[in-house]
């Protein structure tokens, strides 16, 4: 579901300006499980699990939300719930630097809401 969202007409060009999407299949990719264990460690949540790294491979922010409420530490997975979408957008805001403008991030936020709303339970 996350891959589908990142490929949308509005989101894809903005995402491409600031991030490189690398999907690792823990079951099929060589060393996939080891990479997942090294990066995720003991953090909770299933798949998908997202982490944003800098160019040197250092963690900038991960999909385990820092919400300060009942969602704190939970994996956002493929963001659909309002709190999941909010954390995913925060991950982008924290790592956008000067490559992606606030207006572009607002467009991604609107596109995520359009995508996620009908998928909410």
pLDDT tens, residue by residue, 5-40? 999 999 999 999 999 999 999 999 999 999 999 999
For 67, the enclosing helix (H) or strand (E) is: none
Summarize the confidence of residues 107-117 as an average pLDDT. Answer: 98
Q: Does 116 score more than 90 pLDDT?
A: yes
Q: Does 4 score more than 90 pLDDT?
A: yes
Domain ranges of the chain: 2-119
DSSP 37: H
Phi, psi of 64 (to 5 degrees): -85, 105
User: Does a cis peptide bond (omega within 30 degrees of 0) precede residue 50?
Assistant: no
Q: Which residues, other chains included, contact 118 with Cβ-Cβ below 8 Å and sequence gap of 6+?
A: none
Q: Structure pTM?
A: 0.93
- With cut-offs at 50, 70 and 90, classify the pLDDT of residue 1: confident
Q: What is the pLDDT of residues 62-71, one digit of tens each?
A: 999 999 999 9
Task: Give pLDDT, residue 9.
Answer: 98
Q: What is the pLDDT of residues 76-110, one digit of tens each?
A: 999 999 999 999 999 999 999 999 999 999 999 99
């Amino acid at each position: 579901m996350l891959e589908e969202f990142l490929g949308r007409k509005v989101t894809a060009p903005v995402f491409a300006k600031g991030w490189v999407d690398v999907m690792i299949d823990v079951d099929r990719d060589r060393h996939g499980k080891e990479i997942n264990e090294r990066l995720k460690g003991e953090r909770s949540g299933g798949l998908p699990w997202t982490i944003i790294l800098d160019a040197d491979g250092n963690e900038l922010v991960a999909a385990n939300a820092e919400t300060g409420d009942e969602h704190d530490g939970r994996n956002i997975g493929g963001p659909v719930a309002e709190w999941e979408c909010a954390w995913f957008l925060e991950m982008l805001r924290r790592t956008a630097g000067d490559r992606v403008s606030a207006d572009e991030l607002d467009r991604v936020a609107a596109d995520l809401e359009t995508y996620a709303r009908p998928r909410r339970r």
